[in-house]
Amino acid sequence: MNTNKLFLLTIATALSLQVFGQNKRYLSSMEKNLQMMDTCKTLSSYQQTANAFERVANAEKKEWLPSYYLALCNAFMAGMSSGDKIDEYCDISEKYAVKADTLSPNNSEVYALRALIYSMRIGVNPMLRGAKFGGKSAEMTAKAKELDPNNPRPYLLQGQNKFYTPEQFGGGKERALPLLEEAVRKFDNFKPASPIAPNWGKQRAKQMLEECRKK
């Protein structure tokens, strides 16, 4: 092997090792943050986890998942809040959902996330916001299902929205039941694309299905 070829091989090997090291650190950080997220029960714990995902997002600018989970944490915090705080968290969530969408266009998981954010905004004033943001959420959910019919999260969100919509406006347990049954079936068959790919919602779907079946 001549000197030039040996030099090029050395450079290529060094670059490969560097990329492998970066990927390993990224995956390790994401797995650690997801473990934190699984234990979150309070606003402060979700905020700490959101901050951790933000650090990864700043370091790994080409990866969509850190922004996705940062947005998801804020959506969950919106769901635990009331009044103007809901919009504050949703504004942050939407910002990072849009960033995730830019990094990973036509992604069913991102559309489901954006549907969740619109649903959370309804909570500020259900009577005034239900039609507007309920419609936007439905659009995003339909797109998420179109992009990946096997993704269970759009079905969970549809069922959840029906569950909390008053019967006189087309909601209620009876209408939510088939959607949540479908969500649970899809969760039972769902396999995430990787250890850090979205895999949330199964327990929520089962809990809501049980509520729908209660007399």
pLDDT in tens, 76-124: 999 999 999 999 999 999 999 999 999 999 999 999 999 999 999 999 9
Residues 21-56 have pLDDT tens digits of 458 899 999 999 999 999 999 999 999 999 999 999
Q: What is the mean pLDDT of residues 5-28?
A: 56
Of 214 and 196, more confident: 196
| pLDDT for position 214 | 84
Given a cut of 90, whether residue 75 has pLDDT beyond it is: yes
- Report the interhelical angle of 108-122 vs 126-147 (nearest 10°): 170
Q: What H or E segment, with its residue span, contains residue 192?
A: none
Verify that 194 and 160 share a domain, yes or no: yes
Verify that 168 and 118 share a domain, yes or no: no
Which domain range does residue 157 map to?
150-215
Q: Is residue 171 part of a domain?
A: yes
Distance CA 181, CA 96 (A): 31
Q: What is the mean pLDDT of residues 48-69?
A: 97
Q: Is residue 63 part of a domain?
A: yes
Q: Is residue 86 part of a domain?
A: yes
Verify that 121 and 154 share a domain, yes or no: no
Identify the band that residue 215 occupies on the pLDDT scale cut at 50, 70 and 90.
low
Domains contained in the chain, number = 2
> Rounded to two decimals, what is the model's pTM?
0.88
Verify that 182 and 124 share a domain, yes or no: no
Verify that 125 and 154 share a domain, yes or no: no
Sign of CA dihedral 162, 168, 169, 175: positive
Q: Is residue 188 part of a domain?
A: yes
Q: Is residue 29 part of a domain?
A: no
Verify that 118 and 45 share a domain, yes or no: yes
Q: Is residue 8 part of a domain?
A: no
73 near 53, Cβ under 8 Å?
yes
